[in-house]
């Protein structure tokens, strides 16, 4: 490594959501912090999040909204830094916000305000955010870490891995966090794409012809169930309901979709009684976009007026509509995944401090860790909460 190291109390790798929050709080505690960021500017994922308005938290965020090999791991950090704490910060900076739906909070203006807020929270003289930093080596020598970036050595007794996950590689996302973890002997839970569109083939391919059609559904994978919109795409299925269940889906499994989720179990029989001249197609058109209603009616194969259809056939049709099975062929992969499931094993970390049990001074926060939130502001809440838990624990 090069000589004349720059000495800090903590080095944070990655100026994303978790890294910036951690650096800001550590700086406010009086620590000298270097944030080394590979990209030319900080917070790139924050900037594109929530369609440019950043869904920065969810007022209902709690441990039950996260997937992890250890579902208890996130509890401590989430309890100590709550959605209200982040709302207070946003309001302190005069950033206007609104709830869009399902507890999801967005900026009225732009995600840029969140990045600027985090930078403004980093006290001058305590936090150096160094962009375009190409980290080429990391080593531990005694009780200090050395990081080589652009020919400069940065040295500190604390090293925080906050480099996120490999989702959206075209934005520069990599599996760097996992490489570092492995270098220090920490286990990594196999990463896979999550909050990601699913692809369809085989018999389901017909649905791809309905590309662009969106409708509220209940989507299920395993025990998970979400009532949100589904979107049919030229590759398969997307939309919030599908992204949510994609995190629970495993290759080879089916997912279930309830079309017309608000309907009673025997709604087609009820309709037969009330309006025997109606058809399955006309009934579906009352609730679904026409193209989808027509395709489903065709697949059900009941073209006659309801009055001429046996009750059993209508009961079976309603049942099928309530649990339409799809067999996804896969996902659209890390290229389209909003987050990564898996990552640095929580078994390696303290849930109080995010410090590696076996490597004193080494910490991991945010998406790099095997804690993954639902869609809807939960992932940022984890980034903030884990960043704060770590920052409060860093030793001077
Ligand atoms: P994050 O990815 O934010 O930051 C990691 C940083 O490390 C990056 O700046 C990266 O450049 C840097 N880095 C990587 N390798 C490095 C290296 N070798 N050396 C130095 N730096 C390196 N969540 C949510 O709650 N609400 C939302 O609205 C959205 N919207 C959304 C939209 C899209 C399109 C995506 C892809 C994702 C979201 N998310 C989201 C998810 C959210 O963006 C994500 O969970 C957090 O950004 C994770 O924060 P981290 O700080 O852990 O990683």
**Cα radius of gyration (the chain):** 24
249 CA from centroid of ligand 1 (Å) = 22
pLDDT at 395: 87
pLDDT at 108: 98
201 CA from centroid of ligand 1 (Å) = 31
* pLDDT tens, residue by residue, 15-34: 999 999 999 999 999 999 99
Is the Cβ–Cβ distance between 244 and 219 less than 8 Å? yes
Could you tell which of 56, 164, 344, 383 is best to mutate to test the pocket of ligand 1, judged by most ligand atoms within 8 Å of the CB?
164
pLDDT at 203: 86
In the numeric block, the tokens 């209902």 are attached to 60
* CA separation for the pair 16, 379 (Å, rounded): 12
Is the Cβ–Cβ distance between 82 and 382 less than 8 Å? no
pLDDT, mean of each 10-residue run, the chain (396 residues): 81 98 98 98 97 98 98 98 98 98 97 98 97 97 97 98 95 94 98 98 88 98 97 97 98 97 95 97 98 96 96 97 97 98 98 98 98 98 99 92
Is the Cβ–Cβ distance between 382 and 371 less than 8 Å? yes
Could you tell me the two tokens for 289? 């976009």
Neighbour count for residue 280 (Cβ, 10 Å): 26
The bridge status of strand 104-107 relative to strand 144-149 is unpaired
Atom of ligand 1 nearest to the CA of 58: 25
* CA separation for the pair 120, 139 (Å, rounded): 31
* pLDDT tens, residue by residue, 90-144: 999 999 999 999 999 999 999 999 999 999 999 999 999 999 999 999 999 999 9
* CA separation for the pair 255, 204 (Å, rounded): 12
Is ligand 1 within 6 A of the CB of residue 16?
yes
| Residue 151 burial by Cβ neighbours in a 10 Å radius (0-12, 13-18, 19+) | exposed
| Residue 242 burial by Cβ neighbours in a 10 Å radius (0-12, 13-18, 19+) | buried
Work out the angle between the directed axes of helices 17-28 and 378-393 (0-180°, nearest 10).
Answer: 30
164 CA from centroid of ligand 1 (Å) = 5
Is ligand 1 within 6 A of the CB of residue 103?
no
Could you tell me the two tokens for 373? 């939130």
Strand order in the sheet with 97-99: 55-58, 104-107, 97-99
First to last CA, the chain: 24
Could you tell which of 163, 339, 378, 385 is best to mutate to test the pocket of ligand 1, judged by most ligand atoms within 8 Å of the CB?
163
Could you tell me the two tokens for 120? 């403004």
Complete domains list, the chain, with CATH: 6-192+341-394 (3.50.50.60), 198-331 (2.40.30.10)
Atom of ligand 1 nearest to the CA of 20: 51
Is ligand 1 within 6 A of the CB of residue 306?
no
Is ligand 1 within 6 A of the CB of residue 83?
no
């Amino acid at each position: 490594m090069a000589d004349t190291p720059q000495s800090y109390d903590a080095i944070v790798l990655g100026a994303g959501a978790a890294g910036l929050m951690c650096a800001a709080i550590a700086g406010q505690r009086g620590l000298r912090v270097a944030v080394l960021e590979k990209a030319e500017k900080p917070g790139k994922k924050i900037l594109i999040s929530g369609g440019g308005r950043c869904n920065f938290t969810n007022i209902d965020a709690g441990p039950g909204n996260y997937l992890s090999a250890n579902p208890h791991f996130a509890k401590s950090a989430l309890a100590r830094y709550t959605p209200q704490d982040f709302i207070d910060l946003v309001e302190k900076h005069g950033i206007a916000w609104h709830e869009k739906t399902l507890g999801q909070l967005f900026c009225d203006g732009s995600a840029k305000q969140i990045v600027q807020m985090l930078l403004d929270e980093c006290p001058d003289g305590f936090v150096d955010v160094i962009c375009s930093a190409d980290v080429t080596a990391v080593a531990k020598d005694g009780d200090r870490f050395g990081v080589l970036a652009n020919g400069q050595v940065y040295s500190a007794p604390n090293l925080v891995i906050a480099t996120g996950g490999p989702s959206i590689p075209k934005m520069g996302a990599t599996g760097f966090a996992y490489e570092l973890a492995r270098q220090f002997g920490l286990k990594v839970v196999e990463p896979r794409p999550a909050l990601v569109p699913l692809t369809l083939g085989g018999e389901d391919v017909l649905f791809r012809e309905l590309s662009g059609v969106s409708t509220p559904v209940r989507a299920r994978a395993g025990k998970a169930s979400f009532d949100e919109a589904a979107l049919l795409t030229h590759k398969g299925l997307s939309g919030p309901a599908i992204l949510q269940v994609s995190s629970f889906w495993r290759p080879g499994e089916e997912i279930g979709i309830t079309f017309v989720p608000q309907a009673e179990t025997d709604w087609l029989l009820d309709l037969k009684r009330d309006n025997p001249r109606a058809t399955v197609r006309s009934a579906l058109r009352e609730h679904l976009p026409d193209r989808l209603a027509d395709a489903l009616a065709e697949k059900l194969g009941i073209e006659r007026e309801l009055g001429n259809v046996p009750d059993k056939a209508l009961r079976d049709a309603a049942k099928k509509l309530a649990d339409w099975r799809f067999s996804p062929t896969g996902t659209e992969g890390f290229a389209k995944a909003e987050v990564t499931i898996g990552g640095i094993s929580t078994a390696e970390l303290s849930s109080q401090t995010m410090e590696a049990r076996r490597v004193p001074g080494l910490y991991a926060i945010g998406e790099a860790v095997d804690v993954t939130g639902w869609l809807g502001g939960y992932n940022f809440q984890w980034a903030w909460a884990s960043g704060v838990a770590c920052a409060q624990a860093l030793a001077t």
